[in-house]
Structure 1
């Protein structure tokens, strides 16, 4: 992995975050998420879902009560236990050990106490990926693109508790990442 490339991406990410905030961002916050991660191949002869760990941090840039921009940095690690979802032995698997980096836009219903939301964005996964099925034999390391999509609920008086399902489509390695997560949001500043 090229350290200069990663440092350059992070620098541009921080620079863009600061310039966006100066224009139309009303509030900023940091959200931390943790949860159960899983990976599954696009196609397999057995029903395969490999499980693991998911964690993610997001910079929340609130533009309106119903719209936010969310740059994120996360981590997923899944591994195969040698069984399909029915407990039968299998050699098929879809594993990921990667850092997730990108940006999303969140649209939320501005409802008190329980606000459903939908997110869509674009990002990159940096790490090791393996998809072994009857249809695909892919083992790849490095940087690949992904498409994040999330559904969930923001709970509480200030919507500072987040319960959701996040999906990351990784087309170049023919697998998808799913995460059931719990998150907490901590305000940084509020503009009047």
Structure 2
């Protein structure tokens, strides 16, 4: 009996996802995406050591299909040590990022009207300074560093021109990731 219930749910979800594909995605074409938000940085290790600060990014969007696009980007992440750690033994440690971000990502959207979830993955470089100081790691570097960006987000509205996202930039050479909880808008360049 439960398998029949699950098959009904699966059928309903499939119909919702694919029945409105023509209206569910951002339009094909070129756009500018601007985002701003709360920046953060943290070590790969499971310590409660964070840096918090500011994040901003601009993307030039090439939407080849309604559910697929390429997004060259330029951004900025500025974090300072956070004093919100509840463990007094970790107060001397810090994870900070002060960098300009440049790279490209690809986005895949789900075809859902008004609320379109998406994922992004890419590669880029960070120009700036990074410090990861934890009980087991001390890495400090500046200059150009490779990063791997990935994002989970929601495109909202009739035209999906408002976005809420969680973005991360993995920095393997300094054993930290930077990220942001951001809010963004899309502006079409071709009407």
TM-score band, normalised by shorter chain: 0.7 to 0.9
3-state DSSP of counterpart to 1:189 = coil
Partners of 2:156 and 2:63 lie apart in 1 by: 16
Unpaired runs of at least 5, structure 1 = 1-24
Partners of 2:121 and 2:56 lie apart in 1 by: 18
TM-fit CA distance, 1:178:
1.6
3-state DSSP of counterpart to 2:190 = strand
Equivalent position of 2:175 in the other structure: 174
Q: Could you tell me whether the CA contact under 8 Å between 2:37 and 2:54 is conserved in 1?
A: yes
Equivalent position of 2:150 in the other structure: 149
Bigger CA radius of gyration: 2
Distance 1:153-1:81 versus aligned 2 partners, 3 A rule: closer
Q: Summarize the alignment of residues 61-100 of structure 1 with structure 2, pairs less than 5 Å apart.
A: 61-84=62-85, 86=86, 88=88, 90-100=91-101
Equivalent position of 1:115 in the other structure: 116
Q: Could you tell me whether the CA contact under 8 Å between 1:68 and 1:107 is conserved in 2?
A: yes
Q: How many pairs are equivalent? A: 164
Q: Could you tell me whether the CA contact under 8 Å between 1:31 and 1:185 is conserved in 2?
A: yes
Equivalent position of 2:41 in the other structure: 39
Partners of 2:181 and 2:84 lie apart in 1 by: 21
Partners of 1:81 and 1:109 lie apart in 2 by: 36
Question: How much is the aligned-residue C-alpha RMSD, in angstroms?
Answer: 1.5
Residues 30-63 of structure 1 deviation map (CA, whole Å, 9 limit, x = unaligned): 010000010001126x411111000000001100
Equivalent position of 2:164 in the other structure: 163
TM-score, normalised to structure 2's length? 0.82
